[in-house]
Each structure stands twice: as structure tokens, then as C-alpha cells.
Amino acid sequence: MADNSQKMSYHIGETKGQAQEKASNLMDKAGDAAQSVKESVQEAGQQIKAKAQDATNAVKDATGMNK
């Protein structure tokens, strides 16, 4: 009976280790996805900022305020 108990304990530990590894991998993937989104948002923000500056300069040029 002790042999079955040891096998069961081993399998429980093995399953727990696999679950922890899968959870760790999912957390890594989630972190990578979050970083990717952050970088995309920052890039979009920079593009919007540049377009706003271009628009401001175009208005200044059109109104003669850029002299």
C-alpha cells in the first residue's frame, strides 16, 4: 500500500510541476503581449504627435504666422 501511496504522491507532484510550468509560460506570453501593446501604443502616439505638429505648421504657414 505504501508503494501505491508513493506513486500517487509522485504523480501529484509531477502534475503540479507541469501546471506550474504551463502557468509560468502563460504569464510570460501575457507579459510579452502587454509589452507589444505598449510599444504599439507608444508608436501610435508618436505618429499622432508628428501629424499634429505637421498640421500646426501647415496652419502657421497658411496664416503667415510661421515667419
Residue-wise pLDDT tens digits, 9-28: 999 999 999 999 999 999 99
Per-residue pLDDT at 65 exceeds 90: no
What is the structure's pLDDT at 64?
86
Q: What average pLDDT does range 29-42 have in this prediction?
A: 98
What is the structure's pLDDT at 3?
85
Single pTM value for the model = 0.62
DSSP single-letter state for residue 1? -
- Burial pattern 11-41, b for ≥16 Cβ within 10 A else e, equals eeeeeeeeeeeeeeeeeeeeeeeeeeeeeee
Average pLDDT value over all residues in the chain: 93
What is the structure's pLDDT at 67?
65
